Amino acid sequence: MNTTLSAKVTRTDSGGFVAVASTASVDRDGEVILPGAFNPLPASLPVHINHTANVRDLVARARPYYEGGRLMIEARFASTSAAQDARTLVTEGILDSVSVVFFAAKKEQRAGVPTIVSGELLAVDLVTIPSNRDALVMSSRSFRAHAATARTVSADALMALARAEVREARRLMDHTSTRGTQRRRIDALVRQTLTDQPSTAVVVHDFLRRLS
């Protein structure tokens, strides 16, 4: 007899990603975007491919937020074929960069460097070559994107989702320079997630929170 848990899932697994959108480093245009320059941030932003505002190139929506001196986004892909093609490129690490689109920028010279101190953030787009070298996709996930329609799912189905996320986490770690103590800690978290209280959603969410 399967135990059931109350959870929120999407009708389809459209996927999503987390990315650094902007930092205070000097970009390829020789400019700096000051942390907090885009405050107040909008509740959500469009994400395009090809750096255009064409509806056909719209592939995701993103929630922007500041984390320290970095502008971050948490994005959710659409279920369209173009969006899922983009998701495949992101998940495989082929498309790994983003770029901000903004309006009404105010610039000042600071230490001899043109610095954008304010502006309206309009979009954060997936691009092949970012202006800011730090503007990179950090992770591609689907578990957190399950948040549109409430329904009851079996514990087995929930853990299948969790195991898929663990595989993705391990793949990401294999492509980073993480070694030694930190890597062993993450491996321990993986084992704990798959063995301790396997029917409890809290364990899964706690693992993802500590891993990120």
- pTM of the model as a whole: 0.62
Across-strand partners of 137? 19
For the chain (212 residues), the mean pLDDT of every run of 10, in chain order, is 34 79 95 97 95 92 94 95 94 94 94 96 96 91 40 48 60 59 64 50 51 52
Contact 145/8 with Cβ under 8 angstroms? no
Residue 203, both tokens:
């364990």
Q: How far apart are CA 187 and CA 181, in angstroms?
A: 10
Bridge partners of 62, per DSSP, are 45, 75
Sequence spans of domains, the chain: 4-11+148-211, 16-141
Neighbours of 21 (CB within 10 A): 28
N- to C-terminal Cα separation, the chain:
34
Q: Are 133 and 25 in contact (CB under 8 A)?
A: yes
Q: H or E stretch including 157?
A: helix 155-174
The pLDDT score that the predictor gives to residue 53 is: 86
